[in-house]
Structure 1
Amino acid sequence: MKRRQFIAALGAGAAAAAIAKPAIAQSMPELRWRLTASWPKSLDTLYGSCESFAKYVSDATDGKFQIQTFAAGEIVPGLQTLDAVQNGTVEMGHTAYYYYIGKDPTWALFCAVPFGLNTRQQNAWFYEGDGQKLMDEFGAKYNTYNLLMGNTGCQMGGWFNKEIKEPGDFSGLKMRIGGWAGKTLQKLGLIPQQLAAGDIYPALEKGTIDAAEWVGPYDDEKLGFYKVTKYYYYPGWWEGGTTNHLQINLAKWNSLPKNYQSVIRAAAGAVNVEQTARYDARNPQALKRLVAHGVQLRPFSMGVMEACLKASNEVNAETAATNPDYKKVLDSMQAYRNDEYLWWQVAEYSFDSFQIRSRTKG
């Protein structure tokens, strides 16, 4: 090749590279985002999910997309992640949406409500039913895009400084209880308090509150509730399955390349499964340890459960009558739940009930 031809070829190659490189750079930009969580770092189930998510995103993008995670209080208080994401203080958050019923009670329906969906039913409703579509529509009103990113499974009914034998025993109790359940128990005379995780133990210890619920044995043990109260009730009928969400500022989400959006969806989906697995794996041994500490397990009586169901139905009817968004989402969720239980009573419930009976016999 003559010198002049070589230089021309080299120039053409450089020009081609100059054209190709920006396209690659555009699809894989270097980004540094922040995620604020509603959880303290001590809760490795919840805050650990945020860390796992950030790692998956980084690994899948060869480190080009870095997400720095912050625990509750490091940027904003744990119950203000929605505000921080909505107004662009941070790009992402991780939270339980029933914390924001003060803005609109519809938020609770996407997280957990009394006598709602269990964990697998929630996943099915979001992934295969209308759940994600309804969430997209509602979340856009608050400048957010939202993805499932964790589920605690069915929770416990909480810690009480006295026994709850009948519905009237709730009257006058001050209880830390999240979300829409507090509205339901108000009908039975309870005084609900909304506190972030790190504030619950001091309130119990000082007697500022008489009862509290968080999640279940593993987290509750870490938070130390057994040290200051001994009656531990079940089931958490207000949280048959609690969906935690990844919140993303809508403008920031729309600005992402499609491949980054796919990475985020995949990473959030992986964490969604992992979080439930962590709770399922860790709760049994934690429950044994709590009982060894002298904790007294108590089931809510059928009378208590039925009174709470009645109160929940009243709250739903009253709210749906004045809030079209709430009614739309509630109708979808309840119809889905009713169909799902047709299947559950045939297979899942029958199998699990037999297995539990067999274990206790042998």
Structure 2
Amino acid sequence: MERRHVLKAGALGLAASAVAAPAIAQSSPEIRWRLSSTFPKSLDTLYGASETFARIVSETTDGKFQIQPFAAGEIVGMPQALDAVSNGTVEMIHGPGYYYVGKDPTLALMADVPFMMNVRQRLAWMHVGGGQDLINDYVAKFNVYTIPGGNTGTQMGGWFRKEIKTLQDLQGLKFRIAGLAGQVLAKLGAVPTQIPGGDIYPALERGTIDAAEWVGPYDDEKLGFAKVAPFYYYPGFWEGAPNVHFWIGKEKWEALPKSYKEIAKVAASHAGMELTAKYDARNPAALRRLVAAGAQLRPFSQEILDAAFKASNEIYDDLSAKNPDFKKMYDSLRSFRNEEYLWFQVAEYTFDNYMIRSRVATSGR
């Protein structure tokens, strides 16, 4: 009798292990995806975020979930990337929504628009203020799901072949600029155009364009803009906190095991944090090198900033009246921004302002 109980228990154990093994295998399937970045490999900051994301996903799943990054143009170019992930040509892409403002201006709001927020405020809006939920509710119409994937911080105002002192100097200026900022500059008399990062230098060199913005000193130094457009303006008022996202085909995302989804979110968060940290750590030295090599730093005049601020709000009001999706996201952003700056002017701004003045007074001690 005792022997029969032992045999029965052993049989039940074997049966349980036979059920458990396939279940575990099914919950950790082998998956291979392609990720098309909208950036060239030379930009180890922006393109590098895709590499970091893919590495963490692979290491955390013991190599079962493999994602291979490709630079812009290797599978599809930047202009076609959103269509490629929407129709399943690639499983995912990495880039900012404002590249596709021609499809719908609402896409710009998920990245950045003129005179909005700084990095910490935008992250707070996305992760705690309901912003990312609004974004994913909206982008479902493009058959995608998105995860925040990094922020460059406030950008520079760009490189100009000539000085820009007044609004008159903007008249007819051919300016490489992305997103709704192009519409703002157009209202001020400039002629905006959007071209990929790798094409900017030759366009400046040939005089096809008169000015171009990209990101900031670290990337701009790599791209060599100072050699052909020496006047370096600040701030990039159109990009106080431009965010990039990982865009994933909706069906592909929904088919992932829950554990893989969580791993992807954690990997994206780490890659995004690293991206921002790289810019904050590397921009100061790059700016010093650019100025030492002849770059001429110039602030945008108050006249230009005020006119751009006015034009921006006119565009937002007009789009809100015509586009319910835009209005819903913009109202959320604007309300959150106003509350954030109420707080930041009390603590963050006063601290930063004191430290900046103290640094100057003590020669950087």
TM-score, normalised relative to structure 2: 0.96
Query: % of aligned pairs identical?
Result: 60
The structural deviation recorded for 1:11 is 5.2
Structure 2 letter corresponding to 1:131: G
CA deviation map 1:222-255 (0-9, x unaligned): 1110111100000000000110001011111110
Report 1:1-362 matches (<5 A): 12-362=12-362
Separation (CA, whole Å) in 2 of partners of 1:7 and 1:42: 65
CA deviation map 1:166-208 (0-9, x unaligned): 1121110111101110010100111111011111111111111
CA deviation map 1:282-335 (0-9, x unaligned): 000000000011000000011110011011111111111111111111111000
Separation (CA, whole Å) in 1 of partners of 2:9 and 2:353: 75
The structural deviation recorded for 1:130 is 2.0
Separation (CA, whole Å) in 1 of partners of 2:85 and 2:300: 38
Separation (CA, whole Å) in 1 of partners of 2:307 and 2:241: 20
Which secondary structure state, in structure 2, belongs to the residue aligned with residue 141 of structure 1? helix
Structure 2 letter corresponding to 1:352: D
Which secondary structure state, in structure 1, belongs to the residue aligned with residue 343 of structure 2? helix
Select between 156-165 and 9-18 the one with higher mean Cα deviation. Answer: 9-18
The structural deviation recorded for 1:126 is 0.4
Separation (CA, whole Å) in 2 of partners of 1:4 and 1:226: 85
The structural deviation recorded for 1:37 is 0.4
Go from structure 1 to structure 2 and tell me whether the alpha carbon gap of 1:128 and 1:5 turns closer, same or farther (over 3 Å shift): closer
The structural deviation recorded for 1:261 is 0.5
Separation (CA, whole Å) in 2 of partners of 1:325 and 1:100: 15
Separation (CA, whole Å) in 2 of partners of 1:339 and 1:281: 29
Select between 305-314 and 78-87 the one with higher mean Cα deviation. Answer: 78-87
Structure 1 letter corresponding to 2:335: A
Separation (CA, whole Å) in 2 of partners of 1:259 and 1:53: 16
Structure 1 unaligned residues grouped into runs of 5+: none
Q: State how many pairs are aligned.
A: 362
Separation (CA, whole Å) in 2 of partners of 1:8 and 1:202: 78
Select between 265-274 and 335-344 the one with higher mean Cα deviation. Answer: 265-274
CA RMSD of aligned residues (A): 1.6
Separation (CA, whole Å) in 1 of partners of 2:80 and 2:117: 25
The structural deviation recorded for 1:3 is 10
Which secondary structure state, in structure 2, belongs to the residue aligned with residue 146 of structure 1? strand
Separation (CA, whole Å) in 2 of partners of 1:168 and 1:330: 30
Structure 2 letter corresponding to 1:316: Y
The structural deviation recorded for 1:5 is 8.9
Structure 1 letter corresponding to 2:58: S
Select between 14-23 and 81-90 the one with higher mean Cα deviation. Answer: 14-23
Separation (CA, whole Å) in 2 of partners of 1:204 and 1:22: 59
Select between 33-42 and 130-139 the one with higher mean Cα deviation. Answer: 130-139
Separation (CA, whole Å) in 1 of partners of 2:86 and 2:318: 28
Structure 2 letter corresponding to 1:210: D
The structural deviation recorded for 1:21 is 1.0
The structural deviation recorded for 1:17 is 2.2
Select between 153-162 and 14-23 the one with higher mean Cα deviation. Answer: 14-23
CA deviation map 1:210-231 (0-9, x unaligned): 0000000000011110111100
Separation (CA, whole Å) in 2 of partners of 1:38 and 1:142: 17
Separation (CA, whole Å) in 2 of partners of 1:199 and 1:48: 20
